[in-house]
Structure 1
Amino acid sequence: MREDQFSMLKSRRILVTGGAGFIGSNLCEHLLKLGVMVSCLDNFSTGHRHNLEKFIDNPNFALIEGDIRDPEICKKVCEDKEYILHEAALGSVPRSLKDPVTSNEVNVSGFLNMLVAAKDAGVKRFVYAASSSTYGDSKDLPKIEDKIGKPLSPYAITKYVNELYADIFHDAYNLDTIGLRYFNVFGRKQDPNGAYAAVIPKFVMQFMKHESPVINGDGTYSRDFTYIDNVIQMNLLALTVENPEAVNQIYNTAVGDRTNLVELTQYLKNFLSEYDKEIEKIEVQHGPNRPGDIPHSLASVDKARKLLGYKPEFTIEKGLKEAVAWYWHNLR
């Protein structure tokens, strides 16, 4: 990813919702390096202040503490913004199954509040985090953007509704939108703690503590694990693409390769054992499959390559090696 490719973003006014979260804070940090005037909105329900420590004092950075469920906050933060990267959401399939009402309030009502505010503020482009969960029970592999199945969780429903609303706001109000269907994103700053921690940071921390991770099922379920820098590239491309055909579209945001959970844990053991030889000896346990989980996920990134010029630079191995190094040096 060439930095000069995105030089046109310098001094632009961009809002990142959920900017204290894993993906949002990485986007904020990268945008600041490009000379962007970055505003971050977060209610810190799942985001963390420590994710902002490196750049909280940057004169080009502004933090607004607030909730996207509040229409007035949304209106305030969208004023004078040129672009929006909407990352704020309540993630996690299990969380949505436990509390579907709150997931809907944040992911649907909050999303709609942001669309209305963006429209009213005359925002040039609204790029938002969609989800691979939208593919639901579709058994087609690889996943292609225009072929989805029946959602398998409240979370998946909310993210599909986002896509429908974004499409309507383009047709009815001429608001340019681009949705990025994230596939199992991982990397630096991803929270390893809590009941809904993602599998990679959770397993890394368990290995570092010499604990045995528990794989849901027999370990044959596979995912298109996607390193954070590939996601940053996709967001930047979505912000800057000028081809009208490329706007008001949905794109898979992934690598285009899949890894099962047995393979994943072996990668983690191999990379972590470079720092601690004892980790190689730790056995992995198996538990029941998790409700709402799809067996396999693999993205086609052909559409993103063709219309956005996307070139994923991080394979699962390369990304995991960097992620493991970050966790070892920052959270051990």
Structure 2
Amino acid sequence: MKILITGGAGFIGSHLADYLVEKGYDVKVVDNLSFGSLENIKHLIGLKNFEFIKGDLRDSNIALNSVKGVDVVYHLAANPEVRIGEQSPDSLYDLNVYMTYILLEAMRKNGVKKLAFTSSSTVYGDAKVMPTPENYAPLEPISIYGGAKLASEAIISAYSHTFNMVSVSFRLANVIGKRSNHGVIHDFIEKLKKDKDKLEILGDGTQSKSYIHVKDVIEGMFYLFNKTEEKGLTYDAYNVGSEDQISVMDIAKIIVNEMGLNPKIYLTGGVNGGRGWVGDVKYMLLSIEKAKSVGWKPKLNSYEAVKKAVREALGKE
């Protein structure tokens, strides 16, 4: 089986490439390296079952060439920054929605019928039910990023039903771990490296969300995609997260402890009731009962995942 990973030089994509190559699949990665890095996949280049294409999937010719001869596409290529929506909605549309359409067209023209898509918990917006199940409604994203992910889910579902594809959207909690170059853990560590005596926290510090280690995400996506095929479904969506939450203040405490520091912590107070930024979902906890019902759950809870990710970022693991 030949598998294409879009955005495969990025944080999550490179871990997926590692996982699939190790399992013996023929893996092709396409990435324009705007958010990804060759450093993440350099150990794979030269292996007989790995191929790298540097290219932008918004170019239909590159998309057509990338999907040629593959059996399954894992679509991870995207602008990963939630906060950019306030300043640059056009980038999120271009890289998250339009690119998905170009990829789907390339798949249709090449007869590629299987797609796994990394969506996001942000499609739920400020959910009134927590833990939030996949059938929660109405879906009201409060960030441009969340809206772009939901739009991509919709067009993937439409293509799947219209052109007889099998596809799954994975609504991910906050994914953390080695090779991540954005998010709260990365931001806090970088701030403390610049000034060990103070740490600024965006918002009021009570924001509480579910975190999942990238290793659990990869295993979850692979397992759940195979289960969807077994069930003979055209389209499905799964939450992929942990079963608990951790506050931004507790994350700061873990980082400070692991770095052996004692900084003064400053809270900005935030916007719109203590959020870190416009579009920040203050509280998020996904229900993973659907995934558990078919045999998957993460190995680490949020606290364990954060501690492991912090140690990885500091070179301790």
TM-score normalised by the chain length of structure 2? 0.92
Identify the residue that residue 188 of structure 1 maps to in structure 2. Answer: 178
Deviation at 1:157, TM superposition (A): 1.2
Q: Does 1:216 align with 2:194?
A: no
Moved over 3 A (4+): 205-209
SS at the partner of 1:213? Answer: strand
Identify the residue that residue 240 of structure 2 maps to in structure 1. Answer: 253
Higher mean C-alpha displacement, 107-116 vs 314-323? 314-323
2: CA distance, partners of 1:21 / 1:55: 14
Identify the residue that residue 25 of structure 2 maps to in structure 1. Answer: 36
Identify the residue that residue 318 of structure 1 maps to in structure 2. Answer: 304
SS at the partner of 1:64? Answer: strand
Deviation at 1:112, TM superposition (A): 0.8
2: CA distance, partners of 1:213 / 1:117: 46
Q: Deviations over 1:156-187 (max 9, x none)?
A: 11111111111111211111000001111000
How many residue pairs get aligned? The number is 308
Deviation at 1:53, TM superposition (A): 1.9
Residue pairs, 1:58-73, within 5 angstroms: 58-73=47-62
Q: Does 1:207 align with 2:207?
A: no
Identify the residue that residue 144 of structure 2 maps to in structure 1. Answer: 154
- 265 and 304 in structure 1: CA distance in 2 versus 1, 3 angstrom threshold: same
Identify the residue that residue 273 of structure 2 maps to in structure 1. Answer: none
Whether contact under 8 Å (1:167, 1:248) holds in the other structure is yes
Identify the residue that residue 86 of structure 1 maps to in structure 2. Answer: 75
Identify the residue that residue 76 of structure 1 maps to in structure 2. Answer: 65
2: CA distance, partners of 1:154 / 1:230: 27
Give the fraction of aligned pairs with identical amino acids, expressed as a percent. 29
Match of 1:141 among 116, 122, 130: 130
Q: Deviations over 1:135-160 (max 9, x none)?
A: 01332211111114322122111111
- 48 and 207 in structure 1: CA distance in 2 versus 1, 3 angstrom threshold: same
1: CA distance, partners of 2:62 / 2:296: 34
Deviation at 1:284, TM superposition (A): 2.1
Q: Does 1:178 align with 2:168?
A: yes
Identify the residue that residue 283 of structure 1 maps to in structure 2. Answer: 264
Q: Deviations over 1:93-139 (max 9, x none)?
A: 22122111121011111001111212222224100011111001332
TM-score normalised by the chain length of structure 1? 0.88
User: What is the letter of the counterpart of residue 214 of structure 1?
Assistant: E
Whether contact under 8 Å (1:16, 1:40) holds in the other structure is yes
Identify the residue that residue 218 of structure 2 maps to in structure 1. Answer: 232
Residue pairs, 1:300-311, within 5 angstroms: 300-307=287-294, 309-311=295-297
User: What is the letter of the counterpart of residue 117 of structure 1?
Assistant: A
User: What is the letter of the counterpart of residue 62 of structure 1?
Assistant: E
SS at the partner of 2:56? Answer: coil
Whether contact under 8 Å (1:234, 1:253) holds in the other structure is yes
- 236 and 247 in structure 1: CA distance in 2 versus 1, 3 angstrom threshold: farther
Whether contact under 8 Å (2:30, 2:66) holds in the other structure is yes
Identify the residue that residue 24 of structure 1 maps to in structure 2. Answer: 13
Whether contact under 8 Å (1:81, 1:121) holds in the other structure is no
Whether contact under 8 Å (1:16, 1:38) holds in the other structure is yes
User: What is the letter of the counterpart of residue 284 of structure 1?
Assistant: I
2: CA distance, partners of 1:35 / 1:213: 44
1: CA distance, partners of 2:75 / 2:216: 17
User: What is the letter of the counterpart of residue 263 of structure 2?
Assistant: I
